[in-house]
């Protein structure tokens, strides 16, 4: 008997190896837990645990170097930061694995345990293909700290590793033989960099403002540069702001830099109340604040209708769905994502046409034109 370990997902065309899309083998760590509890909630809980570990690490680091009260306040500010809130609201993303690793690497840096910085940084290469550049940035920061050999080696490993994954491994796995995100967008990188500069500048300002600007006193803040620059040279507007999960990996970096900045300049303790004020201001209309609004828990009639429709689909059936309904179907159905179904012919087609996410409004017409046969 031959057992296949090829990682695939029905959110892409059938048989598509997902490592040919994003190189994130680290997500296999969730597999044993998903095997025990095969539910979308299992993956969401995994993300919560990963973020919680980072909060614990950063709060302890802050209390060691800034004092118990101020350190606890920094831990709270980090846990409620916009990058973490937005990421949790936006469901699971593989970069959640980078968050505790960056917190642990940063903690080791502040404690001057440079060998541990290397040890916690290297696994980042398995989180996502672009994390190699972040590893290289950590190597550069180690070089600035006087760790010349470790810094150079880590930087080389990061750059060479990222190039190997993007130029060799992913194209070798991808069915089209390419790295699909290499030329994302239609315009040049330099032109995209200067598009909506005010929005990008606001993102950078808010990113350092939630640390009371203390992060600017630490070389560790440079570790965030590749992530921010990579977002800003892309002409996809989703990447430029503070929404979704795109600022998640930046949060542990800048808060570690904040702690290191205060360690270097003790007078920067004034930055803690400033960070709390900025964080409090950003709580307005935030996902956490929404939890205090009773209206948040009022279920709209369409939710009841959606549950009813989902319950009518037999267990084990194949379904083509949009992003608004996929999470409610994956536990006991084979689910294909609208736009990535390839040649598969699903038993059912189910779209949330009122969600405003661009799904075809005439579902029956779409299904019969796309897949043939009769639906409806």
Top mean-pLDDT range of 37-51, 188-202, 295-309? 37-51
The pLDDT tens digits for 62-73 are: 999 999 999 999
According to the model, what pLDDT value does residue 6 have? 59
Confidence class of residue 300 from pLDDT cuts 50, 70 and 90?
A: confident
Is the per-residue pLDDT at 187 higher than 60? no
Structure confidence by residue, pLDDT tens digits, 229-247: 988 888 778 888 888 888 9
Instruction: Please tell me the predicted confidence (pLDDT) of residue 2.
Output: 33
Q: For residue 190, what pLDDT band results from cuts at 50, 70 and 90?
A: low
Give Cβ neighbours of residue 286 (< 8 Å, ≥ 6 apart): 80, 82, 85
Per residue in 96-115, is it b (16+ CB within 10 Å) or e — as a string? bbbbbbbbbbbbbbbeeebe
What predicted TM-score, i.e. pTM, was given to this entire model? 0.88
**pLDDT band for position 5 (cuts 50, 70, 90):** very low
Distance CA 208, CA 107 (A): 18
Dump pLDDT digits (tens) for 38-55: 888 899 999 999 999 999
């Amino acid at each position: 008997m031959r057992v296949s370990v090829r990682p695939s997902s029905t959110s892409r065309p059938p048989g598509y190896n997902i490592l040919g899309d994003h190189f994130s083998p680290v997500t296999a760590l969730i597999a044993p837990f998903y095997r025990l509890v095969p539910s979308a909630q299992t993956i969401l809980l995994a993300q919560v645990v990963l973020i919680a570990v980072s909060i614990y690490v950063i709060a302890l680091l802050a209390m060691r170097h800034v004092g118990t009260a101020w350190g606890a306040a920094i831990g709270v500010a980090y846990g409620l930061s916009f990058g973490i809130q937005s990421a949790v609201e936006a469901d699971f993303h593989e970069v959640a694995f980078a968050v505790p690793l960056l917190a642990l690497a940063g903690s080791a840096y502040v404690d001057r345990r440079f060998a541990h910085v290397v040890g916690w940084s290297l696994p980042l290469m398995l989180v996502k293909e672009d994390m190699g550049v972040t590893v290289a940035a950590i190597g550069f920061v180690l070089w600035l700290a006087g760790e010349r050999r470790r810094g150079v080696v880590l930087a080389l490993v990061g750059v060479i590793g990222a190039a190997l994954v993007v130029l060799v491994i992913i194209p070798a796995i991808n069915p089209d033989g390419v790295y699909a995100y290499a030329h994302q967008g239609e315009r040049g990188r330099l032109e995209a960099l200067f598009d909506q500069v005010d929005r990008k500048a606001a993102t950078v300002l808010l990113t350092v403002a939630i640390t009371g600007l203390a992060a600017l006193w630490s070389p560790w803040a440079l570790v965030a540069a590749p992530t921010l620059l990579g977002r800003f040279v892309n002409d996809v507007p989703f990447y430029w702001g503070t929404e979704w999960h795109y600022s998640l990996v930046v949060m542990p970096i800048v808060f570690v830099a904040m702690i290191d900045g205060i360690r270097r300049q003790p007078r920067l303790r004034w930055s803690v109340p400033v960070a709390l004020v900025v964080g409090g201001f950003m709580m307005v209309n935030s996902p956490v604040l929404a939890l205090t609004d009773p209206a948040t828990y009022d279920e709209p009639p369409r939710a009841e209708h959606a549950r009813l429709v989902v319950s009518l689909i037999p267990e084990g059936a194949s379904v083509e769905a949009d992003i608004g309904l996929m999470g409610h179907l994956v536990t006991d159905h084979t689910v294909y994502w609208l736009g990535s179904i390839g040649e598969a012919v699903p038993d059912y087609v189910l779209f949330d046409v009122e969600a405003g996410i661009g799904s075809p409004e005439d579902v029956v017409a779409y299904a019969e034109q796309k897949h043939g046969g009769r639906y409806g």
